[in-house]
Amino acid sequence: MSIRTLLIGLDGATFSILDPLMDQGVMPFLKSFFAEGARAGLRTIVPPLTPPAWTSLMTGRTPGQHGVFDFFRMDSPVSRHIRFFNSNDVQCETIWSLASAGGLHTTTINFPAMFPPPHISGYVVPGWVPWKQLRLACWPEDLFEKIKAIPGFNQRELAMDIKLEEKATEGISDHAELGPWIELHARREQNLFQVLRHLTEEDPSELTAVLFDGVDKLQHLGWRFLRPEDDRPLTEDWEFHIRELCLNYFRCVDNLLKQMCELAGPEATVLIASDHGFGPTYDVLHINTWLERNGYLAWSEAGESHDTQGALLGVGQVAKHTWLMDWNKTKAFATTPTSNGIYVVVSDGTSPGVPAAEYPVFLKKLSDGLRQIPSLRTGEPLVSEVFTRDEVFQGPHHDAAPDLTLILSDGGLVSILPSKEIVSKRPAVSGSHRPVGIFGARGPAIRRGFIANELSILDIAPTVLYSLGLPLPEELQGRLPVEVYRDAVLKEHPVRKAAAGTSGPGSPASSAPVPAELEDEETVLERLRELGYIE
């Protein structure tokens, strides 16, 4: 057995950062990779957010079809309890389960929505799992014992630390912390590679995939060091030092890309993709404050006196946030800063909220008002687009989506915290998500030096399946980008289709995740503490 397809995820990668780094000699291997293969911009889904975007890449389906909309979700449309998303929320087949059903072996490392781990044929080391739970999270059950024997293996650095994740979006106030934080992410990517190399040398998989997510983290906090032209020139010694650490991180990633391609061998198809792009963000919209000022939301006494401890967006406050509102007076609210989503409280005729008959008019009134909020920096509308869930979340899981999803003109995340201001200026320019990421492909089947028109993130799943010689389920919403393939390859290996309904949840092709309710009770409690849901 050998690697047929190597899928490399670079979370948040954007050509606006990578192209200059390639031209400056920081990433020579990546430059040669694109020269020897194909590249394109990769448009993501709405919202351009890690969990729904990677899930769309893994499934070839939009959030309304696969059921993942955010890092967090409410238990039901009428619930006020918020929990972290998990693999049980993914409601359709993935490339992992389809490959397994096709008789192929898969190794997947550090991808989200993989805990509890699906029981695929192969290996799962999930991403977005607290480090204390990594043993439970791996599949097969003895996998952790195998990988912990790898020289230099560091469980704490390999998995997630929720406090570090919060820093990526909330910021680091002391620049002395920033250098060690950047170096940690370089070590973490090396740890991930060591796991991939060990498993490949011991038991290679036809589909092998790894996700490096430090790219996203560094761009959130380090945007002004990577692109000072978007803020102000660097002048202090410490600023130049931080920039050099950022460049070293990307040198590290470039070297790991080279080693992984060598490990895969010349006959493998190598795909590189990001879940979204990136750009600078300057303003913070305090969305619940705007809703409060316009009479749509009311805080409880606890909410009005709530100490946010210097938080900007409220990432660490999510689990407690809905309990700080007065639900007798609230008609619309935002529960999380990550989805930029607003939920509307619809009355059943006896409860408080918006009467169902008035819902469409209420949505329009909200949307029109939101579009009038000015940016502090430009004076132009800060909210560039407002999507209803009917517009972007069509599918069987439509009801779990926010009623409105906002796109800010600078790509920023909203704050859910009470504030004295509706819009505030960030202490320093940060990086935030943009809708167009990157795609790259190289291998014997791929055209050389080809620049394709923009692709969709939904096109990655059919590309992976085709590269493995598997049929493409008719349920996929993406397409195979035939333009990146050599004509002779397509003629010799025509696209095969799988009839609708032959690979849905519950079919023999489905993975078999461990039900969350079967986890040990103490383990669940510890996991909730790690995620900040309970004290």
Residue 503 has pLDDT above 60, yes or no: no
Tell whether pTM > 0.75. yes
Q: Where is pLDDT greater, at 350 or 164?
A: 350
Q: pLDDT per residue over 391-436, tens digit each?
A: 999 999 999 999 999 999 999 999 988 889 999 998 889 999 999 9
Min mean pLDDT across 77-81, 292-296, 298-302, 413-417 is at: 77-81
513 confidence band (pLDDT: 50, 70, 90): very low
Tell me the pLDDT band of 381, cut-offs 50, 70 and 90: very high
pLDDT in tens, 56-92: 999 999 999 999 998 877 665 555 667 778 898 999 9
Tokens coding 254:
């470039």
pLDDT of amino acid 171:
53
pLDDT of 349 > 60? The answer is yes
User: pLDDT-derived band of residue 376, with 50, 70 and 90 as boundaries?
Assistant: very high
Q: What is the band of 177 on the pLDDT scale with cuts at 50, 70, 90?
A: confident
d(CA 396, CA 89): 13
Q: Is the pLDDT of residue 166 over 70?
A: no
Q: What contacts 236, CB < 8 A, 6 or more positions away?
A: none
Handedness of CA 248, 251, 257, 263 (dihedral sign): negative
pLDDT of residue 317: 58
Question: Is the separation of the CB atoms in 345 and 404 below 8 Å?
Answer: no
Q: What is the C-alpha R_g of the chain?
A: 23
Length of the chain in terms of residues written: 535
DSSP 8-state assignment for residue 130: B
Q: Which pairing describes strands 122-125 and 106-109: parallel, antiparallel, or unpaired?
A: parallel
Sign of the dihedral defined by the CA atoms of residues 451, 457, 459, 460, in that order: positive
DSSP assignment letter at 511: -
Closest C-alpha to 87, from 532, 527, 514: 514
Confidence category of residue 321, pLDDT binned at 50, 70, 90: low
Cβ neighbours of residue 447 closer than 8 Å, sequence gap 6 or more:
37, 38, 483, 484, 485, 486
Pairwise CA distance, residues 439 & 10, whole Å? 10
Asked whether the predicted pLDDT for residue 360 surpasses 60, the reply is yes
Report residue 506's pLDDT band, with 50, 70 and 90 as the boundaries.
Answer: very low
* Separation CA 83–CA 522 (nearest Å): 17
3-state secondary structure of 153: coil
Contact yes or no for 400/77 (Cβ under 8 A)? yes
250-279 residue pLDDT tens: 999 999 999 999 999 999 999 999 999 999
Q: How confident is the model at residue 98 (pLDDT cuts 50, 70, 90)?
A: very high
* More confident position, 462 or 162: 462
The predicted pLDDT at position 247 comes to 98
Query: Is the confidence at residue 16, as pLDDT, over 90?
Result: yes
Please calculate the CA angle 85-87-118 and round it to the nearest 5 degrees: 160
Of the two residues 400 and 209, the one the predictor is more confident about is 209
Write out the two tokens for 323.
């309990």
3-state per-residue secondary structure call for 199-254: HHHHCCCCEEEEEECHHHHHHHHHHHHHCHHHCCCCCCHHHHHHHHHHHHHHHHHH
- Whole-angstrom Cα distance, residue 254 to residue 28? 7
pLDDT band at 528 (very low <50, low <70, confident <90, very high): very low
Q: What is the pLDDT of residue 85?
A: 82
- Condensed to tens digits (0 to 9), the pLDDT of residues 426-440 reads 888 999 999 999 999
The pLDDT of residue 351 is 85
pLDDT at residue 507, rounded to an integer: 36
pLDDT at 80: 61
Q: Tell me what the mean pLDDT of segment 5-13 comes to.
A: 98
Mean pLDDT of 446-473: 98
- DSSP-based helix, strand, coil % in the chain, nearest 5: 40, 20, 40
Lowest model confidence (mean pLDDT) among 248-252, 342-346, 522-526: 522-526
The mean pLDDT of 507-511, rounded to a whole number, is 38
Q: What is the pLDDT of residue 511?
A: 43
Whether the CB-CB separation of 54 and 45 falls below 8 Å is answered with no
* 325, 331 contact by CB (below 8 A): no
Q: What is the mean pLDDT of the chain?
A: 88
Predicted confidence at residue 308, as pLDDT, reads 52
Q: What is the pLDDT of residue 523?
A: 44
Q: What Å distances lie between residue 42 and 50, 217, 278, 342, 451, CA to CA?
A: 14, 19, 12, 27, 12
Q: Is the pLDDT of residue 128 over 90?
A: no
